[in-house]
């Protein structure tokens, strides 16, 4: 039985572009924006991190692995989005998740604790100045900007720094107050610089705060909390209670944040549409249960590319486009009905909304941008995860006739060892063929650094053991088989 709720209430539907990993080439970014518009998206929540063209003293924040977007490219992205009826809202982290700033040696002294790269020390005025300069440069490069997201989620280790411990030693002071004092300082500085700016922030650091603490926080009337939950089993009643608490504290303008990718696991390669559909059905249940006093400003459908700046890549956008389309249609219809499914499959030209089983049903001009890469990734991922390949080292023949003990002493059975070599070589050749196809297609949409990282993260851990086995076989056989026999078994001399 399909769950059914009222469609998502009036408010904006934003798609989150997380550019701190795998930033799309500009041409592909424009194609994605066009598709988002056709799918009913109202705006983009853009998290640039190190691909923003910071300059002056902040130029060191620019990525070195791949080039940052140029100023003209950032402006053209906004102009193209506006031409499609979409607003662009930048997200700039100002407290937690500042790894891309605090990883630089010249910024180390601004960390809350030395071993936590993400959290800013809230006691250093220099830290606030860095944050405000980041915001100034971003706002300046977004002409006419009316809404800004200042992050402030997952501020790990707050209160653990020496200056924080001294501050907290005074009677009545709490870590909650420490968090609120910094966020309030930043938000007030934003309002002073840009009086008409609407400020959004993540809500998670405020979830455990009492109603009285929230009322006295200084944030009422200053920020709009965005409550995020990306799980398929989101607790609707608990989430409703939390939103009602924020509203009772005076923060009635609220946002939701769901997910269409990048929240299953830190290293997921292929998106599960069902997981993200379930997340959106739960959010519809939340929206249907809220009191009229809660003013839902919209929902940001997040698409995380990394869990944080220093973690590995999550799924690339192409394999998640069916999931995004399903999530949007579910919000529009209040359920994933037969009509919603028909609209997704028809629009994207696919037979299934699960990327692992989709087949093309339409001509080339109706397929979604990045479709070919999505297909190739699914095919390669299936190979990489096949038991025969991934667990080749644990096969009976390798464990029985080519164990580490046998390799070290070069006491092997040539006949079986040659069979092992030939099978490993066959797997390597099959993988290499698929990898080259993925490499070629991915390079059309992403910078070379992304291609290299993706292959090293997903492919190398599987191919390296196979390669090692072929090399070890050759070394062993040189000790046990005459040279003139090598060529007949494709073993290099």
Asked if 337 and 281 count as a contact pair (C-beta separation under 8 A), the reply is no
Q: How many CA atoms lie within 13 A of 450 on its CB side?
A: 26
Phi, psi of 281, deg, nearest 5: -65, -40
Instruction: Give me the helices (H) in 65-174, please.
Output: 71-83, 99-102, 125-140, 162-168
| Residues 6+ away with beta carbon under 8 Å from 107 | 101, 130
Q: What token pair was written down for 470?
A: 């072929």
Q: Exposed (0-12), middle (13-18) or buried (19+): which is 249, by Cβ within 10 Å?
A: buried
Check the CA dihedral 168-173-179-182 and report its sign. negative
Catalytic annotation present for 154: yes
How far is CA 489 from each of CA 416, 472, 492, rounded to the nearest angstrom? Answer: 12, 15, 9
Closest CA to 409 of 461, 476, 348, 325: 476
- List 34, 133, 154, 356, catalytic entry: 154
Supply φ then ψ for residue 7, to 5 degrees: -55, 160
Which residues 6+ apart lie within 8 Å of 477 measured at CB?
412, 414, 417, 418, 421, 486, 489, 491
User: Which token pair is 433?
Assistant: 């063929």
- Active-site positions read 154
């Amino acid at each position: 039985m399909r769950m059914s709720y009222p469609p998502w209430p009036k408010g904006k539907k934003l798609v989150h572009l997380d550019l701190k990993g795998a930033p799309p080439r500009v041409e592909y970014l424009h194609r994605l924006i066009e598709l988002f518009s056709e799918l009913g998206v109202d705006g983009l929540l853009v998290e640039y991190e190190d691909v923003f063209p910071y300059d002056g003293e902040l130029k060191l924040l620019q990525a070195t692995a791949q080039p940052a977007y140029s100023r003209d490219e950032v402006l053209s992205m906004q102009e193209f989005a506006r031409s499609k009826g979409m607003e662009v809202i930048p997200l700039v982290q100002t407290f937690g998740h500042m790894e891309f700033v605090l990883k630089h040696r010249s910024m180390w002294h601004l960390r809350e604790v030395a071993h936590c790269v993400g959290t800013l020390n809230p006691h250093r005025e220099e830290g606030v100045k860095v944050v405000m300069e980041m915001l100034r440069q971003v706002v300046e490069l977004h002409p006419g900007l009316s809404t800004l997201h200042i992050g402030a989620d997952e501020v790990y280790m707050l209160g653990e720094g020496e200056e924080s411990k001294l501050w907290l030693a005074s009677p009545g002071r709490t870590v909650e107050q420490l968090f609120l004092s910094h966020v309030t300082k930043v938000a007030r500085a934003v309002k002073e610089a840009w009086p008409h700016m609407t400020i959004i922030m993540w809500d998670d650091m405020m979830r455990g705060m009492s109603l009285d603490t929230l009322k006295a926080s200084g944030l009422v009337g200053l920020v709009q909390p965005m409550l995020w939950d990306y799980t398929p089993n989101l607790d609707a009643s608990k989430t409703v209670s939390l939103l009602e608490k924020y509203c009772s504290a005076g923060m009635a303008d609220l946002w939701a944040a769901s997910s269409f990718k990048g929240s299953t696991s830190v290293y997921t390669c292929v998106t599960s549409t069902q997981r993200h559909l379930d997340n959106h059905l739960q959010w519809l249940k939340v929206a249907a249960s809220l009191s009229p006093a809660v003013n839902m400003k919209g929902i940001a459908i997040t698409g995380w590319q990394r869990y944080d700046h220093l973690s590995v890549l999550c799924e690339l956008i192409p394999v998640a486009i069916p999931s995004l389309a399903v999530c949007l249609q579910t919000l529009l219809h209040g359920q994933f009905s037969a009509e919603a499914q028909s609209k997704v499959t028809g629009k994207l030209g696919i037979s299934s909304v699960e990327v692992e089983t989709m087949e093309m049903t339409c001509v080339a001009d109706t397929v979604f941008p990045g479709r070919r890469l999505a297909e190739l990734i699914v095919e390669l991922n299936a190979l990489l995860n096949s038991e025969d390949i991934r667990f080749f080292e644990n096969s009976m023949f390798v464990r029985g006739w080519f164990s580490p003990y046998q390799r070290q002493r070069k006491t092997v059975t040539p006949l079986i060892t040659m069979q092992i070599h030939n099978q490993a070589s066959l797997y390597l050749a099959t993988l290499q063929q698929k990898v080259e196809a993925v490499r070629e297609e991915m390079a059309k949409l992403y910078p070379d650094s992304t291609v290299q990282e993706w292959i090293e993260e997903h492919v190398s851990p599987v191919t390296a053991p196979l390669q090692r086995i072929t090399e070890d076989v050759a070394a062993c056989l040189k000790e046990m088989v005459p040279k003139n026999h090598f060529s007949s078994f494709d073993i290099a001399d």
